[in-house]
Amino acid sequence: MVDNQEAKLNLDTGAYCTWVGKLYLKTSVPDWQENLIPIKGVKFSSASERMKPLGIIDLTLIFPHPSQCVRIKVEFVVIDNCTSNHFILGNDYLSIYGIDISNQRDRYCTIGDNKRHKFGFLNNKKEITVIKSKDKRPEKELFISEQLKEAEFNQELTEKMKEKLIDLLFKYKNAFATDKEPLGAIIGHEVDIILNVESSYPPLLRRPSYSASPRAREALEVHIKELMDLGVLRKVGYNEQVEVTTPVIITWHNGKSRMVGGFRALNTYTIPDRYPIPRIHETLTQLSQAKFITAMDALKGFNQNVLTDNSKKLLRIIVYWGIFEYLSIPFGIKNAPSHYQRMMNTIFAEELSEGWLIIYLDDIIVCSETWENHLKRLDRVLQKIVQVNKKLP
């Protein structure tokens, strides 16, 4: 709920800020202009166009729950030229309030430290088709009910077309995340972080751990354990040589904790990667002739990017009870988008050259003029996703 009015909210991990289009804002907050704080000289852009900000509005979001609702205060950037029918909660406030999204068996999000307090996602029954199959094998029914739980099928597809599509997805079931394998570890495209200094490293890259209160220590232990369980972190052994250490701190907001790594120094000494990120509006012309479109995105894409052994040694965090090493790219690392785009362009180089595939970071769009070609193209894309051990939500 937004200011006590029911509304749709999109938790967008790919958005760098929190925003809402003025047309949709008007449906929940009719007098929004009276509370708008104008902003000037600030530029925003989406994947497809330059956005026109009108100002900032302060709103209260209410996450309803049977046991206890959660209220948070959020500043939304109001966009003039936006037709989205959602409020967009971006990475800024997802991080501030510690909102974690689970794409496992039961899709939900948690807010802050209370991981047992789960908030489900709304399914629009008018847009989502119930997926059925004539194949009643238990493993296939389980795949449909769990791994395709959030899939959206166009209702104009015939039953025969849906059946063929489900068969294809089941053929590549290893492309989808499961409870046992929530994240992929992409093979053959390890990320190499290169510094403009050599060992022995300057003091800014060899920092001790911060002092922490008992409360912060307890929160640190929880965050570290979660990352180790996901295979994102490992504990560094006592006999291993350590040259670079980055301290982490716990920040608190409304009683909720967040672990923050101080990677500013590492980013300062990292040689920049100028690999271009595509301009989506220049490639969307590929959609003009397409009759069939499938969109996919990677689950926590950057966290699936494995680091080289040398780079892992640069991404070691230090806490009061030891040193831990990142095995994949954490958030906040310089060059992460460039690394990811280059990897995707390399994996799908042949498909991109044929002009029917669009890739923007972890977004994959397959376009076709006929259903037969569409299935063949999806087969090629899913096959490569499985080959490199990438996971889709």
| pLDDT tens digit at each of 393 positions of the chain | 786 678 888 888 777 788 898 888 888 888 888 888 888 766 666 555 577 888 899 898 888 876 678 888 898 999 888 777 889 998 888 888 888 887 655 678 888 877 777 888 765 333 434 455 566 677 888 888 777 877 778 778 888 998 999 999 999 999 998 878 888 899 999 999 999 998 888 999 999 999 888 999 999 999 999 899 888 999 999 899 999 999 998 888 767 788 888 899 999 999 999 999 887 666 666 677 788 989 888 767 788 999 999 999 999 999 999 999 999 998 788 898 899 999 999 999 999 999 999 998 888 999 999 999 999 999 999 999 999 999 987
pTM of the model: 0.63
Q: What is 17-85 written as a DSSP string?
A: S-EEEHHHHHHH-TTGGGG-EE--S--EE-SSSEE-EEEEEEEEEEE--SS--EEEEEEEEEESS---S
> What does the alpha-carbon distance between residue 26 and residue 12 come to, in Å, rounded to a whole number?
21
Structure tokens at 161: 């077309």
Listed in sequence order, the residues at least 6 apart from 242 whose beta carbon sits closer than 8 Å to its beta carbon are 236, 313, 316, 323
Structure tokens at 225: 């354990």
pLDDT at 124: 39
pLDDT at 299: 66
Q: What is 108-138 written as a DSSP string?
A: EEEETT-TTSEEEPPP-TTT-PPP--S---H
Sign of CA dihedral 264, 268, 273, 277: positive
pLDDT at 126: 39
**What region does 201 belong to: left with phi over 0, alpha with psi -120 to 50, or beta?**
beta
pLDDT at 186: 93
Amino acid at 148: L
pLDDT at 135: 63
> What does the alpha-carbon distance between residue 324 and residue 305 come to, in Å, rounded to a whole number?
18
pLDDT at 388: 95
- Ordered domains of the chain (ranges, CATH): 9-101 (2.40.70.10), 138-171 (no CATH), 180-393 (3.10.10.10)
- The number of beta carbons lying within 10 Å of the beta carbon of residue 99 is 22
> What does the alpha-carbon distance between residue 343 and residue 20 come to, in Å, rounded to a whole number?
32
Residues 159, 183 contacting (CB under 8 angstroms): no
